[in-house]
């Protein structure tokens, strides 16, 4: 019996520790979406609205010159889902349909390029002039140029691209 009580206590303790751990983990799951650009891009900051317009292909050139090359993660990635769902408020099919129509209506000379990982995004952003990509704050390449969003850097208070 004593053995069961010890086991029960141990179980409860384990369960409690697990629950606490889970609670801490959930608190840490808030991830920031960092906007990285090629260093040739002269802008340092972008507004949330301009970011949305850029994702919709309505902004094709950077302020100060240079063609925008939009890099976006492949489907089912967190970054892509977050960008589509939170920033653009679109589903995957809607987004695809939107871009295919835009390209076929010749309203856009180029479309978003699919990258397979944050690492690839970092590499391509560093090598393609005017490129922009959205990466997890944990995987921001060390030499990448990070844009402020609404003049707020990732990690600072009020950064708008913070999602679970």
Q: Is 153 in the site for other proteins (CB under 8 A)?
A: no
Dist CA 93 CA 52 (whole Å):
17
**Cα–Cα dist 156/34, whole Å:** 12
From residue 59 to residue 98, the character string flagging contacts with other proteins as x (rule: CB under 8 A) and all else as - is --------x-x-x--x---------------------x--
Q: Closest CB to other proteins among 72 and 154?
A: 72
CA pair distance 12, 102, nearest whole angstrom: 58
**Cα–Cα distance list, 53 to 18, 62, 76, 123, 147 (Å):** 44, 12, 22, 24, 16
Cα dist from 144 to 49, 156, 159, 161, whole Å: 22, 18, 18, 17
146 in contact with other proteins (CB under 8 A): no
User: Which of 53, 56, 128, 146 forms a contact with other proteins (CB under 8 A)?
Assistant: 128
Q: What residues from 11 to 70 belong to the interface with other proteins (CB under 8 A)?
A: 67, 69
Residue closer to other proteins by CB (options 19, 65) is: 65
User: Closest approach of Cβ 72 to other proteins, in Å?
Assistant: 9
DSSP assignment, residue 152? B
CB of 60 to other proteins, least distance (A): 9
Interface region with other proteins, contact rule CB under 8 A, candidates 13-21, 43-51, 116-124, 146-154: 116-124
Residue 145 interacts with other proteins (CB under 8 A)?
no
| Cβ neighbours of residue 57 closer than 8 Å, sequence gap 6 or more | 70, 99, 102, 107, 108, 111, 112
Question: Quick one: which of 78, 90, 79 has its CA closest to 132?
Answer: 79
Footprint on this chain of other proteins (rule: CB under 8 A): 67, 69, 71, 74, 96, 99-100, 103-104, 106, 108-116, 120, 123-124, 127-129, 131
């Amino acid at each position: 019996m004593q053995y069961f009580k010890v086991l029960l206590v141990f179980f409860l303790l384990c369960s409690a520790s697990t629950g606490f751990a889970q609670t801490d983990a959930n608190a840490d799951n808030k991830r920031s979406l960092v906007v990285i650009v090629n260093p040739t891009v002269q802008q340092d900051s972008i507004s949330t609205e301009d970011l949305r317009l850029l994702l919709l292909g309505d902004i094709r050139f950077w302020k100060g010159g240079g063609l925008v090359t939009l890099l976006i993660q492949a489907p089912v990635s967190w970054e892509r889902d977050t960008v589509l769902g939170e920033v653009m408020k679109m589903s995957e099919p809607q987004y695809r349909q939107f871009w295919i129509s835009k390209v076929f209506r010749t309203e856009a000379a180029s479309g978003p390029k699919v990258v397979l990982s944050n690492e690839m995004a970092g590499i391509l952003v560093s090598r393609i002039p005017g490129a922009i990509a959205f990466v997890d704050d944990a995987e921001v390449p060390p030499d990448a140029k990070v844009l402020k969003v609404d003049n707020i850097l990732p990690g600072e208070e009020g950064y708008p691209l913070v999602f679970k």
